[in-house]
Amino acid sequence: MVQAAFASNRGVVGKSGHFALDLGGDPFARSLMPHDHDHPHALLPPDPALRVKALETLLERKGLIDPAALDEIIDTYSHKVGPQNGAKVVAKAWVDQDFRDLLLRDATAAVSNLGFYGRQGEHVVAVENTPARHNLVVCTLCSCYPWPLLGIPPAWYKSDAYRARVVREPRAVLSEFGVELPPDVKIRVWDSTAEIRYLVIPRRPDDTEGWSEEALARIVTRNAMVGTALVEVPA
């Protein structure tokens, strides 16, 4: 919506190919943009949070975003989606054999039955860790990630270093995350794409027999569902 509004009547594309926002006579808008004079208000605030707020205010004044819609998006990704959802899926798979079978056969359907679906989670594949195999997820092209299950991807997942090294030397990368696997455990790296997002089903700790789904979900971490951690019982 914002891009469409920009392209329609809010700016122009210069000779360099960069988009220039038409600020009109808005003094607040012009105070945010750099110009030739060395005034304190010539640049956006150096603090990222203040910069985001300044741009948000500008876009609201220009009618390019709806504050209510923006608040709803922020609330969704702050409270309604995140690793707590994926943890519930894993815990249920640990205690419900029928659900586990469905999850491994058709993860999209299984997680949708629990109410976890939506943007960035349309096609999910679950891969299960076993005593002989450990699964690890990456997106080598960008940062494809099952948002409805794990929330917004962490910075390290999007980093060039992780995306490049985890394919070449997954055991070394796991070691840097504090995960030391026996030499005979094979590591399988799964490359997420725009079409498929992967969810790792970690191994259940041995000393959790009799635990409820809720208690199990509390010990499942985001990293464990990406494959860069093991699930451990708190001391």
DSSP 110-168: HHHHTT--STT-SSEEEEE--SSEEEEEE-SSS----HHHH-SPPHHHHSHHHHHHHHH
64: Cα within 13 Å, side-chain hemisphere: 20
Instruction: For residues 175-199, give the mean pLDDT.
Output: 96
- Candidates 8, 78, 112, 139; catalytic one: 139
Q: Regarding predicted confidence, which is higher, 64 or 141?
A: 141
Ranges 21-30, 62-71, 75-84, 120-129: which has the least confidence: 21-30
Q: Which residues are registered as beta bridge partners of 125?
A: 198
Q: Model pTM?
A: 0.69
How far apart are the C-alpha atoms of 137 and 139, rounded to whole Å? 7
- Measured on CA atoms in the order 27, 32, 35, 40, is the torsion positive or negative? positive
DSSP 208: G
144 is catalytic: yes
Q: Topology of 82-226 in CATH? A: Nitrile Hydratase; Chain A (3.90.330)
Residue 226: which of 166, 185, 168, 184 has the closest Cα? Answer: 166
Instruction: For residues 144-163, give the mean pLDDT.
Output: 92
- Candidates 31, 78, 112, 144; catalytic one: 144
Q: Are 61 and 28 spatial neighbours (Cβ–Cβ below 8 Å)?
A: yes
> Which residue intervals of the chain bear CATH 3.90.330.10?
82-226
Q: Are 190 and 52 spatial neighbours (Cβ–Cβ below 8 Å)?
A: no
Q: What is the pLDDT of residue 119?
A: 64
CB atoms within 10 A of CB 200: 24
- Candidates 8, 16, 78, 143; catalytic one: 143
Helices (H), the chain: 2-5, 27-32, 48-61, 67-75, 83-95, 97-105, 107-113, 147-150, 155-158, 160-168, 170-176, 213-217, 222-226
Dump pLDDT digits (tens) for 122-134. 799 999 999 999 9
- Candidates 78, 142, 159, 212; catalytic one: 142
- Report which residue type is found at 27: P
Q: What is the pLDDT of residue 70?
A: 72
175 is catalytic: no
139 is catalytic: yes
Q: φ, ψ for residue 134 (rounded to 5)?
A: -120, 130
| Range with top average pLDDT, 45-59, 144-158, 220-234 | 220-234
How far apart are the C-alpha atoms of 124 and 128, rounded to whole Å? 13
Q: What is the pLDDT of residue 75?
A: 67
Instruction: For residues 164-174, give the mean pLDDT.
Output: 97
Structure tokens at 91: 């815990």
212 is catalytic: no
> Between β-strands 19-21 and 11-13, what pairing exists: parallel, antiparallel or unpaired?
antiparallel
